[in-house]
A = this chain, B = another copy of it.
Amino acid sequence: MQLNMTFKSTIASCSNCNLRELCLPTSLSSADIQRLEAVFSSRLRIPQGGLLFSSGTPFTALYNIRSGFFKTCVSLEDGREQVTGFQMAGEIIGLDGIVNEYHNCNAVALEDAEVCVMPYAEIERLSQELPELQRHMHKIMSGEIVRENAVMMLLGSMSAEERLAAFLLNLVKRLRARGFSSSELLLRMTREEIGSYLGLTLNTVSRVFSKFREKGIVNVKQRYVQILKIDELELIYDSQSYNE
């Protein structure tokens, strides 16, 4: 599972980044944005399978995903692993590191990815001067707490079908917010990774996909998923809360 990875640095420009409204406060003046650009300028490329950070490594920065797809996971000594989230372009990764100043989970690129590096010391400094940035950071962290609450509900009291329905609905919702189709998607993760996230085995995930296909709710072929009856999915997962 160890990959030889190469990190390549490039220079960012927030001003003309199409993800700006996802990762920065919308209310900033262009002058303020240029101040951010000055310190959030470095980028990192992570090849598929590469680690952006891993459990125990020192925390220095938050990362804004520019392209690509990540999973974060925590693991026990005995090898058991729990996927704690899947992150896509425009989302911030690394918040777990703030509290102890070292990372608490592994962040693995599920496809070739590029992230913007936001050194935490700079975030702290700039937040002192830009109330919008401070509020933005608070909202992002609070949003992550709310997301995890919804996952706890999922893991604690929902059936396998409900879990997978919730998972698919959440994915297409986030993809739609990024201008992608809300009826078609290409999964970036394996059945096993989905299962780990949802507290199921890869077998069960596969079986539920098959059941959904038999019911005509989805069209599944390996990683490709077409959602035929989104209302049926919403019926299975009584919607609400699982916002991101």
Q: Which residues of A contact B (CB under 8 A)?
A: 74, 76-78, 80-82, 84, 95-100, 104-105, 124, 127-128, 131, 134-135, 137-146, 148-153, 155-158, 196-199, 238, 240-241, 243
Contact B149 A99 (CB under 8 A): no
Bound CA span A58–B155, Å: 27
Chain B residues lying within 8 Å of A143, measured Cβ to Cβ, are 99
In the A-B complex, list the 8 residue pairs whose CB atoms are closest, starting with the nearest. Answer: A98-B142, A155-B155, A148-B148, A156-B199, A99-B142, A141-B141, A82-B153, A99-B143
If A84-B149, A124-B131, A143-B99 touch, whether A156 touches B157 (CB-CB below 8 Å) is no
Closest-by-CB residue of B relative to A138 is: B98
- The complex places the Cα of A81 from the Cα of B142 at a distance, in Å, of 21
A128 CB contacts on chain B under 8 angstroms: 128, 131, 134
Task: Determine the chain B residues whose CB is within 8 A of the CB of A137 once the complex forms.
Answer: 138
Cα–Cα, bound, A67→B196 (Å):
38
A139-B99 CB under 8 A given contacts A104-B241, A134-B127, A152-B148: yes
Contact A142 B96 (CB under 8 A): yes
Identity of the chain B residue whose Cβ is nearest the Cβ of A123 in the assembled complex: B138
Cβ contact within 8 Å between A238 and B76: yes
* A139 neighbours in B (Cβ, 8 Å): 98-99
Known: A95-B141, A148-B148. 17 other contacts (CB 8 A): A78-B238, A82-B149, A82-B152, A96-B142, A96-B146, A99-B143, A99-B145, A124-B131, A124-B138, A128-B128, A134-B134, A137-B138, A144-B145, A152-B152, A155-B155, A156-B197, A156-B198
